[in-house]
Amino acid sequence: MIRTELRKWEEYEQKKEWKEFVNSLSKKDYSLYQTFRGYRGVIVKTDKKIERLNQQIEKLNEDKRGYLKKLTEVNSKIDHLRKQFNLSVSVSPWTKDNKNWYCLGTISRSGYNKVSFNLGNMEKKVRPRLMDYYKTNYPKKKQFNSQDLDSQKGRLNFCEKLNMVLYSYHPQIREHIRKNPKMKSLKKSIDFFFPIP
């Protein structure tokens, strides 16, 4: 509504008689009219500024669409980096005779074949190595020496604790896979994860 009113005022002000009419106004009306013109001038300037900014925004949006297209193209070329970074390592108890239990593990990455490894016999190899590896770290020794490996619950708990430790080896695993991209299994895994000098 106010836009229509402004246009009406512009029509009046374009007339020659208007100037004479304004000069004959009382001080109060003249002051109000000048105030009106001041606000109107600000609105006109603001509208022009908004128009310029809208043009800039449209240009930026156009540039952004171009960048997004390029970003999508590049993203498809580096998507393998995320797959290489995201990996999981897990071990679980395994046996073939229900007597000797082993810690079998897998390294999984999206889009890649799994890498398997065998830490060895829980009772004869893995636990003794952990006791030696953590010989000065008594909390860790206690953590891996408290399970009854003759029970399913104990074996699962032992592997669960191992999985918590193996999580911290992600950087070393990535580096090893980078150097051995065709690796299907991790040889001497007990030495890789828990080396003894």
- Domain endpoint, select from 31, 50, 83: 83
- The Cα–Cα gap between 10 and 67 comes to 45
Q: Among the residues of 14-148, which ranges form H helices?
A: 16-23, 27-85, 127-133, 138-145
Q: What does the pLDDT look like over 76-110, one tens digit per residue?
A: 888 888 888 888 999 999 998 888 999 999 999 88
Q: Could you tell me if 75 and 113 lie in one domain?
A: no
CA angle 39, 45, 51 (to 5 degrees): 135
**DSSP structural state of residue 112:** S
Residue written as tokens 């002051």?
31
- Domain endpoint, select from 83, 104, 128: 83
Q: Please say whether the beta carbons of 122 and 149 come within 8 A.
A: yes
pLDDT, position 80: 82
Q: Could you tell me if 73 and 126 lie in one domain?
A: no
Q: Could you tell me if 71 and 98 lie in one domain?
A: no
Q: Could you tell me if 63 and 127 lie in one domain?
A: no
Range of the domain at 109: 87-193
Q: If we measure between CA atoms, which residue out of 66, 52, 68, 184 comes closest to residue 116?
A: 184
Q: Could you tell me if 98 and 71 lie in one domain?
A: no
Q: What does the pLDDT look like over 112-150, one tens digit per residue?
A: 889 999 999 999 999 999 999 999 998 989 989 888 898
Q: How many residues does the chain have?
A: 197
Q: How many domains does the chain have?
A: 2
- Domain endpoint, select from 38, 65, 83: 83
Q: Which residues pair with 142 in a beta bridge?
A: none
Q: Could you tell me if 78 and 93 lie in one domain?
A: no
Structure tokens at 179: 């150097």
